[in-house]
């Protein structure tokens, strides 16, 4: 195939003409041979059928009167048909009644029994059986064997076809040589000019037009293309020179930009070191503050308990109530310190990623909350939750905080209800916790996830204001999002998303 592609147009044209001529000759010759063989076979069968019919009619009386001599005389007349090599007449019982053999076929055997009417043709001979019928009575069968000469005729036709094909191919070759000279000369001229243009980069060269046919149109188009390419080459050179100047100017600007980037990197590195030092100081400060705050809180709690135990009889109800407030506020301050420490540590804590059963995680969190608080009357509707990948402890804290909020804000309803379910799309799982509690004003939705941001009075719903901020920071670290929907006294729904596990 590659050698054919590499041939010149002139050779390709000659091969196309010769191959087309040869194919046409072979197809025509084959059709003629097939037609002749079929016609000859059919005519020869018809001829022998007629001959057998004549012999049958002539031999019918002999068969009727059991006269083999007359039948043999009738068969002897076949000597005038040299192609008939043998003949026989069978009586009605299938026995040979009369026979005829050509001189060169004396040793040929006849069929022991006659067959039904029909013929058998092959390349060497033809055999035919024909019933002898008189007054609708079968008197016997005529058998003829003759030379078919199909092979001889086929050889003659093939010889004639070979001679005609040779002569035709010779004429086709002469025609192809003439076509090559007439058709390929202008194309070769175009090829030569194209080669010179490529070698010398000279777009002023042109091909001389010698014909007004399609090749002439091709030459005109090629010359026009050369002119257009020449104009565009000049324009391209001008553009390249302008581009070189612009590149030089941009190179100068790039050098300046690299210097600025290097200076910026130095500043970033310096600020990063300062930030790391500040974070370490902040971590030490957080630990110190928590430690220093816990000591007086423990003292306040201890002295309040001691006063209640040692002087309970001396205290009025109002004094006992106020001591209870002191203890409650001290506990709330302790919870606030714990939440602040947890919030500050969250950004530095490494995630322990694992595959999680979110349904079980949410159920465990709810059971833990119900054991700590009075949650027996809450109607929890926990739907099937798709599994996710994340930190078991931190995501457990997310469910704990969201369910704790739902329990707290729906606790004043006669029939508190919490729905937990999820929605899955192509990229992420969307989990949500819905309650029928106090809800919130949508205008202040942006404050929900801020530290110490509360939308309800702490006397109605106690809390530190850090829980939702923790939820947001944990979910964002897992690559998700957090948002909420609600209306006053109509409940609220808190959503968070987690990326789907990569399969």
Please give the pLDDT value at position 5: 43
**Average pLDDT, integer, range 366-385:** 77
- Which token pair is 137? 């009575």
pLDDT for residue 421: 92
pLDDT tens-digit map of 388-444:
998 888 888 889 888 888 888 887 787 888 899 999 888 899 999 999 887 787 776
Q: Three-state secondary structure along 285-333?
A: HHHHHHHHHHHHHHHHHHHHHHHHHHCCCCCCHHHHHHHHHHHHHHHHH
| pTM for this predicted structure | 0.40
Note the pLDDT of residue 1. 47
Contacts for 445 with CB less than 8 Å, ≥ 6 apart: 483, 484, 486
Q: Report the C-alpha gap between 163 and 431 in whole angstroms.
A: 90
Instruction: Reply yes or no on whether the pLDDT at 491 is more than 50.
Output: yes
**What does the alpha-carbon distance between residue 306 and residue 165 come to, in Å, rounded to a whole number?**
130
Binned at pLDDT 50, 70 and 90, residue 185 comes out as low
In order of their start, the domains of the chain are: 7-169 (3.30.450.20), 351-499 (3.30.565.10)
Residue 201 has pLDDT above 90, yes or no: no
Torsion from C-alpha of 188, 189, 194, 199, nearest 10 degrees: 100
pLDDT given for residue 213 in this prediction: 67
Phi, psi of 150 (to 5 degrees): -65, -40
Q: When comparing pLDDT for 325 and 112, which is higher?
A: 112
Question: 336 or 241: which carries more pLDDT confidence?
Answer: 241
Distance, CA of 132 to CA of 144 (rounded, Å): 13
Greater model confidence, 286 or 485:
485
pLDDT(57) > 80:
yes
Query: Strand locations in 125-176, DSSP E?
Result: 125-134, 137-147
> Distances in Å between the alpha carbon of 215 and those of 177, 184, 208, 441?
18, 9, 11, 84
The alpha-carbon radius of gyration of the chain (Å, integer) is 56
What pLDDT is stored for residue 7 in this prediction? 52
Please name the residue that has the structure tokens 């899955």.
Answer: 424
Q: What is the mean pLDDT of residues 43-59?
A: 83
């Amino acid at each position: 195939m590659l050698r054919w592609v590499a041939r010149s147009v002139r050779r390709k044209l000659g091969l196309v003409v010769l191959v087309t001529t040869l194919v046409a000759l072979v197809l025509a010759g084959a059709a003629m041979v097939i037609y002749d063989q079929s016609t000859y076979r059919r005519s020869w069968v018809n001829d022998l059928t007629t001959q057998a019919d004549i012999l049958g009619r002539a031999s019918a009386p002999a068969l009727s009167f059991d006269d083999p001599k007359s039948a043999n005389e009738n068969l002897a007349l076949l000597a005038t048909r040299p192609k008939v090599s043998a003949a026989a007449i069978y009586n009605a019982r299938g026995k040979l009644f009369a026979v005829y053999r050509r001189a060169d076929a004396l040793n040929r055997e006849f069929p022991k029994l006659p067959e039904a009417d029909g013929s058998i043709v092959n390349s060497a001979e033809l055999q035919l059986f024909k019933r002898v019928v008189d007054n609708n009575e079968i008197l016997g069968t005529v058998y003829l064997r003759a030379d078919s000469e199909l092979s001889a005729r086929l050889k003659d036709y093939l010889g004639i076809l070979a001679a005609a094909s040779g002569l035709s191919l010779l004429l086709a070759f002469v025609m192809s040589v003439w076509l090559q000279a007439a058709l390929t000369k202008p194309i070769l001229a175009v090829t030569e000019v194209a080669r010179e243009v490529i070698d010398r980069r000279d777009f002023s060269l042109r091909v001389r037009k010698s014909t007004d046919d399609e090749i002439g149109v091709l030459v005109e188009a090629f010359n026009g293309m050369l002119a257009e390419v020449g104009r565009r080459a000049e324009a391209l050179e001008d553009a390249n020179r302008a581009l070189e100047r612009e590149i030089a100017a941009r190179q100068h600007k790039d050098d300046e930009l690299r210097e600025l980037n290097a200076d910026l990197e130095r500043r970033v590195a310096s600020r990063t070191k300062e930030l790391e030092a500040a974070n370490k100081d902040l971590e030490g400060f957080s630990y110190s503050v928590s430690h220093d705050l816990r000591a007086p809180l423990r003292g306040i709690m201890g002295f309040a308990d001691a006063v209640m135990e040692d002087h309970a009889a001396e205290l009025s109800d109002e004094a006992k109530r106020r001591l209870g407030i002191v203890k409650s506020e001290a506990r709330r301050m302790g919870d606030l310190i714990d939440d602040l420490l947890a919030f500050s540590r969250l950004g530095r804590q490494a995630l322990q990623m694992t595959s999680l059963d979110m349904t079980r995680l949410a159920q465990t969190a709810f059971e833990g909350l119900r054991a700590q608080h009075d949650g027996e009357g809450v109607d929890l509707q926990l739907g099937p939750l798709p599994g996710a990948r994340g930190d078991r402890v931190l995501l457990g804290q997310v469910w704990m905080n969201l369910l704790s909020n739902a329990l707290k804000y729906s606790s004043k309803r006669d029939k508190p209800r919490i729905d937990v379910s999820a929605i899955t799309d192509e990229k992420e799982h969307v989990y949500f916790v819905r309650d029928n509690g106090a809800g919130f004003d949508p205008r202040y939705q942006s404050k929900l996830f801020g530290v110490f941001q509360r939308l309800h009075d702490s006397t109605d719903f106690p809390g530190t204001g850090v829980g939702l901020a923790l939820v947001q920071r944990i979910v964002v670290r897992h690559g998700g999002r957090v948002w909420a929907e609600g209306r006053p006294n109509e409940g609220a729904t808190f959503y968070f998303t987690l990326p789907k596990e990569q399969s």
